[in-house]
Chains A and B, each alone.
Chain A
């Protein structure tokens, strides 16, 4: 199970944080500081995985943004790397060639998309089409008083 996901910029600014395990704010800040520092210090050609405490860190850089996930010992590193990629694809499709600014100004959307894709630290829906359909549907409900839908 994924324990948390962090998005941060090359300057170390946190852009998104998603925690799937209960931790105190203090602990979260400490972890973030430590990891941002560790990951930023790594060189481009290095491998995308590292051991950290009793977790495995999987990270990848897209343009100016680092996507960084912490998974448990028995979890699969490569598939996590592709979870990151699929999330980037989702953002890209939704915002239309996403950039860091999109995530800064529409941070709530980034969270909504993530919630449709991953829940409780596990992949909920891996189909790009289905995730985007859910978000689009929600967008269509904007400011419209929804009529109760019959399933």
Chain B
């Protein structure tokens, strides 16, 4: 390289940089910079017009100062002037300054755009590239407005130089990312796709990034790229290592392009064309085979490039999730890497295996590596690798290995890095609950968790253990015994005291028979921790004490003594003082019976109400309130305001008086979900219960008896619909709002409204964990015939869902004609590195499009009789799963969407309904009669009537 190319003789700049480097202190540097800034300012302001060279030099100095981390507030104009210089280096420096220091000054943007426009039309490829680089670097909306229509033309024009095409492709990509609405490919689509066939490898390398991005947004328009990509890939993979000349990198042919091609293919399902698919499978096999060949070079660059392609190929195999053979081979290959001497490969193998673990084909194969992974967790020296190992253990956990994995994670927690403890704790808690076969193991695990990493155990985790203990009477005695033992430790974590206080307060009686844990011993043990605890814990302990008075009358005197002492009854904390005063009073004036009622054992919590959910609700923003929350809210507020309920339960009483977010709110938080309090709100939830079984056999001729239960053919790519989600679905036949789905990680709530043949559905995705979901995406599809029957449009969702946050998605639904299947909702996201993939059925049923119709008795029966053909009539006799309460049945029928007609049927016991199903193509009248038979069964004749 000639020496001249190293710099172009800006000696002043070199001197200035040397000066800065020679500065002994930060102050000296700032002084030198200020001097230079003053100098440049005076030069720019001076009367003498600066020549291009000086302008370039000063602009370059300003750039250097900016890159040192100082603010620059002038010189933009001079930089813009340089853009129109005829001298290449001046222009180049001008563009660099603009690229690094964009200014939103619109006046300036106009001038910049002018200069760019000139260069783009100069037909000088070097200038055109400079201009395109500048657009790609700045990528502002103004630039998109000015050039988004021009650049596609440059990209596909026959006479454009290759290098310009490359810049144009990536420039367009950048504009598309900032302003997708302004970049319209339309007529250019096919020519852009065909750039994949370009002779110039560089053009393909650049264009494919653009094509990948556009394919993600408009897969259908770009789907021809699949076969082109496969044949390009196949040519590269099968080429000899020297065929591609300069695109061969350390004996690996075109590694960057190969990775990009494999990445593009991941935007699509496996190719439908058998030949294309065969060719692709061959490529993937070749890539896997090459991994076993001896390396062509010892250089790490060779193995990195080769393995980059391998990992990308494995990603594609996992994405397809349809070739068991390839999946197992991929897993074996990764298994080899798990023990590789390169840390990087071990890291990536762990990461990639995490996704393999979620595939049914390879889950078992992944599990065979458990010992290696556990070993990695113990011995890897790099925390980021250990983190990956922990993620993988979490992903490969199932019922068969849960005990081993949880034990290993617990023991790892003892020495785990602080940065990942909280996440680890959450994972252990989730696994322990998910795979608990016997609940004593679960209790042991959580208590161990608190013992080992008490500081990182969030409220949700210890709430949850209490909920479970309260709900499972077979574990209560064991739990009491275990916490009692755990509390013996001289220094135990405050969270342990909380759990201990709560559990002994409820179930201390179960171990009181043993003299070693007699009531007084229990009390003294708890009280020995009291003074070391924070106010919320002390408040909880006071509640435990009053419960003790009820459980063990013999402790009454001792406890009253404690409550009466000044440090309680005159405590400066208002909450503690109030509790002490009220509990003391309660214990002295209430009779044993009253006390027993007030301090009764906690009723069981509803099964699905997890306290992690409570955390989620707390964080929900306004406006994003799901129905369940509203219901819960009602209960909660009713309770908080209901001073009439005072004395029902100690905890509730304390909480009802607390004006500030008080410690007792913890107890209330748990308690508020208990069914005892839910009773007044049960009118709403009855609907769910009664129809949850009857639902699928919805008594309308138009509704397929199988409704939701008929399983749609699983699409190739998304996970098959969850079976348990079907049950969840049924309850939506007669209602429009509620929780559609919930697991450990995610809750999906639904609100929907329908009018005529149109509907709108709001989906609320709630992240129940404290960890962010990445790459969150949802797709709604209408499988098979449904795509001609129902039109569902959705807006894309944000790809990131923060821990505890909720995001909303709106679906617009149009019923074109009658249908029986349900649309599918596929959700994918990454949680802690593992890809989550689930498919649910959306509760869109034909009855949602009912328009209620009023009619008189005579009318009804006349029409009823007309509907005599077999297709027009359906009758079903089914057992009522619940008691047949008139109001409940009425509510159900109304929920179905038809009008409930009074005084129509001569038998007042019968229910009669009429409605018109509104579809775009036709309207179908429906009549329904429900004849309850209290003694036996309920026949439901129904009739449908196609109108004119």
CB pair B125–A149 under 8 Å, yes or no, is: yes
CB pair B205–A125 under 8 Å, yes or no, is: yes
Name B348's contact: one of A77, A122, A129 (CB within 8 Å): A77
CA distance A101 to B260 in the complex (A): 34
Query: Which residues 1-23 in B have Cβ within 8 Å of A in the complex?
Result: 1, 4-8, 14, 17, 21
CB pair B774–A54 under 8 Å, yes or no, is: yes
Stretch of B63-71, B282-290, B584-592 on the interface side: B63-71
Query: Which residues 97-127 in A have Cβ within 8 Å of B in the complex?
Result: 102, 104-109, 111-112, 115, 119-127
CB pair B209–A122 under 8 Å, yes or no, is: yes
CB pair B347–A76 under 8 Å, yes or no, is: no
CB pair B205–A148 under 8 Å, yes or no, is: no
| A143, chain B: closest CB distance, angstroms | 6
B-side contacts of A63, CB under 8 Å: none
CA distance A126 to B254 in the complex (A): 8
CB pair A45–B381 under 8 Å, yes or no, is: yes
Q: Does B87 contact A (CB under 8 A)?
A: yes
**Of all chain B residues, which has the CB nearest A133?**
B163
| B195, chain A: closest CB distance, angstroms | 13
**Of all chain A residues, which has the CB nearest B20?**
A104
How many Cβ-Cβ contacts under 8 Å join chain A to chain B? 218
| A27, chain B: closest CB distance, angstroms | 14
CA distance A81 to B346 in the complex (A): 15
**Of all chain A residues, which has the CB nearest B18?**
A105
CB pair B206–A79 under 8 Å, yes or no, is: no
CB pair B88–A141 under 8 Å, yes or no, is: yes
A-side contacts of B5, CB under 8 Å: 94, 135-136, 139
Q: Does B760 contact A (CB under 8 A)?
A: no
| B42, chain A: closest CB distance, angstroms | 24
CB pair B343–A76 under 8 Å, yes or no, is: no
| B13, chain A: closest CB distance, angstroms | 8
| A112, chain B: closest CB distance, angstroms | 7
A-side contacts of B308, CB under 8 Å: 76-79, 81-82
| B168, chain A: closest CB distance, angstroms | 10
B-side contacts of A102, CB under 8 Å: 6
Stretch of B89-97, B362-370, B932-940 on the interface side: B89-97
CB pair B305–A54 under 8 Å, yes or no, is: no
CB pair B256–A126 under 8 Å, yes or no, is: yes
A-side contacts of B772, CB under 8 Å: 54
A-side contacts of B382, CB under 8 Å: 42-43, 45-47
Q: Does B136 contact A (CB under 8 A)?
A: yes
CB pair A115–B202 under 8 Å, yes or no, is: no
CB pair B304–A124 under 8 Å, yes or no, is: no
CB pair B89–A143 under 8 Å, yes or no, is: yes
Stretch of B171-179, B714-722, B908-916 on the interface side: B171-179
Query: What is the interface of chain A mostly: helix, strand, loop, or mixed?
Result: mixed
Q: Does B311 contact A (CB under 8 A)?
A: yes
**Of all chain B residues, which has the CB nearest A96?**
B1
**Of all chain A residues, which has the CB nearest B5?**
A139
B-side contacts of A47, CB under 8 Å: 343-344, 346-347, 382, 384-385
Name B8's contact: one of A17, A25, A143 (CB within 8 Å): A143
Q: Given that A137-B126, A145-B87 are known contacts, is A111 also in contact with B136, CB under 8 Å in the complex? A: no
- Cβ proximity bits A4-33 to B, threshold 8 Å, 1 near / 0 not: 000000000010110010100100010000
CA distance A144 to B85 in the complex (A): 12
A-side contacts of B260, CB under 8 Å: 123
Q: Given that A50-B384, A74-B775, A125-B205 are known contacts, is A151 also in contact with B347, CB under 8 Å in the complex? A: no
- Cβ proximity bits B579-623 to A, threshold 8 Å, 1 near / 0 not: 000000000000000000000000000000000000000000000
Name A124's contact: one of B1, B71, B166, B348 (CB within 8 Å): B166
Name A120's contact: one of B92, B125, B170, B247 (CB within 8 Å): B170
Q: Does A34 contact B (CB under 8 A)?
A: no
CA distance A145 to B89 in the complex (A): 10
- Looking at A105, A120, A137, A141, the one whose CB has the most chain B CB atoms below 10 A away is A120
**Of all chain B residues, which has the CB nearest A128?**
B246
Query: What is the interface of chain B mostly: helix, strand, loop, or mixed?
Result: helix
Query: Which residues 76-96 in A have Cβ within 8 Å of B in the complex?
Result: 76-79, 81-83, 85-86, 93-96
CB pair A82–B133 under 8 Å, yes or no, is: no
Q: Does A130 contact B (CB under 8 A)?
A: yes
CB pair B139–A120 under 8 Å, yes or no, is: yes
B-side contacts of A77, CB under 8 Å: 308, 311, 344, 348
CA distance A17 to B14 in the complex (A): 20
Q: Does B201 contact A (CB under 8 A)?
A: yes
| A82, chain B: closest CB distance, angstroms | 5
CA distance A28 to B163 in the complex (A): 30
B-side contacts of A64, CB under 8 Å: none
A-side contacts of B133, CB under 8 Å: 115, 119
Q: Does B146 contact A (CB under 8 A)?
A: no
CA distance A151 to B160 in the complex (A): 7
User: How many residues on chain A are close to B (CB under 8 Å)?
Assistant: 71
CA distance A120 to B207 in the complex (A): 12
A-side contacts of B249, CB under 8 Å: 82, 86, 126
CA distance A83 to B308 in the complex (A): 11
CB pair A104–B21 under 8 Å, yes or no, is: yes
CB pair B247–A127 under 8 Å, yes or no, is: yes
B-side contacts of A151, CB under 8 Å: 123, 125, 159-161, 164
A-side contacts of B266, CB under 8 Å: 74
B-side contacts of A120, CB under 8 Å: 136, 139, 170-171, 173-174, 177, 209
Q: Does B312 contact A (CB under 8 A)?
A: yes
B-side contacts of A127, CB under 8 Å: 201-202, 246-247
CA distance A135 to B247 in the complex (A): 18
Q: Given that A138-B88, A138-B126 are known contacts, is A46 also in contact with B343, CB under 8 Å in the complex? A: yes
B-side contacts of A142, CB under 8 Å: 4, 8, 87-89
CA distance A45 to B380 in the complex (A): 11
CA distance A49 to B163 in the complex (A): 32
B-side contacts of A54, CB under 8 Å: 772, 774, 800
A-side contacts of B205, CB under 8 Å: 123-126
| A129, chain B: closest CB distance, angstroms | 5
- Cβ proximity bits B479-513 to A, threshold 8 Å, 1 near / 0 not: 00000000000000000000000000000000000
Q: Does B464 contact A (CB under 8 A)?
A: no
CB pair B87–A46 under 8 Å, yes or no, is: no
CB pair B64–A14 under 8 Å, yes or no, is: no
B-side contacts of A25, CB under 8 Å: 71
B-side contacts of A22, CB under 8 Å: 139-140, 178
Query: Which residues 330-388 in B have Cβ within 8 Å of A in the complex?
Result: 343-344, 346-348, 381-382, 384-385, 387
Name B344's contact: one of A48, A85, A129, A141 (CB within 8 Å): A48
B-side contacts of A42, CB under 8 Å: 382
**Of all chain B residues, which has the CB nearest A93?**
B1
CB pair B67–A14 under 8 Å, yes or no, is: yes
- Looking at A45, A47, A95, A127, the one whose CB has the most chain B CB atoms below 10 A away is A47
**Of all chain B residues, which has the CB nearest A148?**
B124
Q: Does B231 contact A (CB under 8 A)?
A: no
B-side contacts of A111, CB under 8 Å: 96, 100
Query: Which residues 246-268 in B have Cβ within 8 Å of A in the complex?
Result: 246-247, 249, 254-257, 259-260, 263, 266
| B186, chain A: closest CB distance, angstroms | 22
**Of all chain B residues, which has the CB nearest A125?**
B202
Residues of B within 8 A of A (CB): 1, 4-8, 14, 17, 21, 60, 63-64, 67, 69, 71, 86-89, 92-93, 96, 100, 122-127, 129, 132-133, 136-137, 139-140, 159-161, 163-164, 166-167, 170-171, 173-174, 177-178, 201-202, 205-206, 209, 246-247, 249, 254-257, 259-260, 263, 266, 301, 304-305, 307-308, 311-312, 315, 343-344, 346-348, 381-382, 384-385, 387, 772, 774-775, 800, 830, 833
User: A143-B89, A151-B125 provided; 8 other pairs, C-beta below 8 A?
Assistant: A45-B382, A82-B256, A94-B5, A119-B174, A126-B254, A129-B246, A134-B126, A151-B123
| 5 closest Cβ pairs, A-B complex | A78-B308, A141-B88, A79-B308, A120-B174, A122-B209
12 residue pairs bridging A and B, Cβ less than 8 Å apart: A42-B382, A48-B344, A49-B347, A51-B833, A76-B308, A95-B1, A107-B64, A122-B173, A125-B205, A142-B88, A144-B87, A151-B125
